[in-house]
Amino acid sequence: MTHSQAARDIDTSRPHSARMYDYYLGGKDHFEVDKQAAERVAEAYPAIFVCARENRSFMHRATRVLAREHGIRQWLDIGTGIPTEPNLHQVAQSVVPDARVVYADNDPLVLKYAERLMRSSSEGRTTYIEADVNDPAALLNAPALAEILDLSRPVALSLNALMHFVTDAQDPYGIVRRLLDVLPSGSALALSHCTPDFDAPTWQKVTDIYTAAGTPVRFRSQADVARFFDGLDLLEPGVTVGHRWRPDPSDGDAPTDAEVSLWTGVGVKP
């Protein structure tokens, strides 16, 4: 699909989760329908902007930890969303310039801006593929993925704020297991997932807004999120609220757990 085809295929008749997330982060790549839906979420859950910001911060920290401490040089980032700098490859390549990153998303708008994801260091490589996490076989068999990633060497599977858009009926744990099964020992899973654990009534309102917008969601408990890491060696501090996963000393005043409402974790495949 070309960028012009992607622009034609963008559905502006209903809100899209990636474009709503762009609004939460203060971006400009969304439409009025997305803004309206995002503002309904913000009315029910004013801290959605904190949640989105902490999700990005967790991704940055997890990427740096995997690069510095675990020798990871390859990433597969699914559910990439609209590019927001610094993107994952920029974070990884700031630590290891030869890092290779494959981004995957099924939103045509992400493809429209994908050139932002291709500005790699001279030593590293990046690419973008149009793929859906609900079809892991097609994603893993994409020719562009094989051009960038060597699946005989460790890969970090990055699933940030993605799996709550996969309902129980879509077999979320089976999807993650199939993705991890093809990755060798030493690979990792970095995952963040919104939760109703701290304020169930508010998150029910958020669920209703997304569902009404045509995007089914399933926000999960800490125990349910921990299941994604079955069979992996969890890094300290385990599955914890986003801002509590190895915070930077310079982060300043911490938000509350209820404001963040995001379970995060990183596990390494033995």
Distance CA 57, CA 233 (A): 22
pLDDT in tens, 40-89: 999 999 999 999 999 999 999 999 999 999 999 999 999 988 888 899 99
The pLDDT of residue 6 is above 50: no
What does the pLDDT read at residue 28? 87
Domains of the chain: 17-245+253-269 (3.40.50.150)
Q: Tokens 């070309």 identify what position?
A: 2
Inform me whether the pLDDT recorded for 187 exceeds 50. Answer: yes
H/E segment holding residue 200: helix 200-212
- Residue among 177, 181, 129 nearest 151 (CA): 181
List the one residue out of 231, 232, 251 whose CA is nearest residue 243. 251
Do the bridges between strand 233-234 and strand 262-268 make them parallel or antiparallel, or are there none, so unpaired?
Answer: antiparallel
Mean pLDDT (the chain, rounded)? 92
Q: How far, in Å, CA of 75 to CA of 88, rounded? A: 9
Residue 251: CB atoms within 10 A of its CB come to 12
* Residue 111 confidence (pLDDT): 78
Closest of 66, 90, 50 to residue 254, by C-alpha: 50
Q: Which residues of 138-177 are buried (b: 16+ CB within 10 A; e: fewer)?
A: ebbebeebeebbeeeebbbbbbbbbbbbbeeeeebeebbe
How do residues 92-123 score in pLDDT, each as one tens digit?
999 999 999 999 998 877 877 777 777 888 89
What pTM was estimated for this model as a whole?
0.92
Kindly report, residue by residue over 125-171, the tens digit of the pLDDT: 999 999 999 999 999 999 999 999 999 999 999 999 999 999 999 99
